[in-house]
Amino acid sequence: LVMSSILVFQRSSRLVSGWMVPRSATLGMARHTGSITTECSYPKRKRDAFLRLSSSSSSSSTSESETKESVDLGVKDELVEEPPLYRCEGLLAVNKPLEWTSQDVVGYIRRMLERDARERGAPVMKLKKRGNKKLMIRVGHGGTLDPLATGVLVIGVGKGTKQLQQYLNGNKRYTASAELGYETTTLDLEGNITKSVPWEQISDSIEIKSLEAILPQFKGTIQQVPPMFSAIKKNGKKLYEMARKGVTEEDMTIPPREVQIHQLDLLPDTDNDKKGLPHFYLNVECGGGTYIRSLIRDMGHSLDTYATMTSLVRTKQGPFTLDDTFEKDEWNPDTLYAAIEKSNQYFASLDQTSEETE
């Protein structure tokens, strides 16, 4: 009888940090013992997971079976609200820095938003099969700009990456500068000169009127051969990969592609030195897939000479203009997320206007 009474007393009691307390009081006492807690302030955790973590570091006086029993007291299914992976999702535009690739920009912004998510306590990695981890932050761009180009680069964050295809294929506007008399491997200043003719030999036959006269043949729907240094694929391989291995345009045939040139104008000489010809400046509005380098090359051929692009600025892509972009020193999570929110409001207003019109 005495032994039975002792067993009953032990089953109805619990030892917590050296205190004998009734089982019904365990959760309340946990605030004092530090073994478990009922007010989980840690985001993105199920409370039962947190309880298991806490109980593993508690004093040896609390057994594993007791911890499981305490978890079963009605709190294991209660969820604590998790911080979102993104503050908001959508599109924004940045001014791509000179000599950066478009992927450089994407990687930089992804890492920035990843750090921001970590600081807010959001999960940024997802466990896949075989123990591999996948980064959950999604960032992409809406159309490649060459390293020597600057200007509008549309960036998609989160669900915004699903909207980027329309920018890849959509209209874009550029200002470009070019120089007559030579051609390079890349059709811009990044490559080596492969063909040239002294300007003095052709200066008498080429003037501004000559350039103006050839513009109409490059407007509308035209056939254009992409540069050898481009991401266009042939036989499953990118052209620039083959070019880096020494393959030239003379070694293979690159099929022309149909592109759209909506607007093509000569711009006034904006060079500080007022050089004039052989330098010239263009304003181009075109459809997706157009290479301004190829356009300038073909203009040179039409003048029976060579031409190379010396600079390129994308001034507009979709609704985004240079005025909507952010410079490199302005890139931070607060600025970028504010820009996404602003563009979301803009697109929402367009949808509302469209519905009202219908």
Catalytic-labelled residue, pool 77, 116, 146, 251? 146
CB contact set of 210 (below 8 Å; sequence gap of 6+): 303
Distance CA 340, CA 66 (A): 49
> Residue 244: left (phi > 0), alpha (psi -120 to 50), or beta?
alpha
Question: Which tokens go with 84?
Answer: 């979102």
CB contact set of 109 (below 8 Å; sequence gap of 6+): 94, 139, 155, 157, 331, 336
Distance CA 341, CA 336 (A): 9
The SS3 of residue 274 is coil
Active site residue 146: yes
User: Helix, strand, coil shares of the chain as percentages rounded to 5?
Assistant: 40, 25, 35
**Cα separations in angstroms, 209 against 174, 261, 270, 278, 280:** 22, 20, 18, 13, 12
Q: What secondary structure letter does DSSP report for 73? A: T
Residue position matching structure tokens 């009474």: 5
Q: Which runs of consecutive H residues, i.e. helices, occur in the chain? A: 2-11, 26-33, 47-56, 64-71, 102-119, 165-169, 199-202, 208-214, 239-244, 292-302, 333-357
Give me the active site residues, please: 146
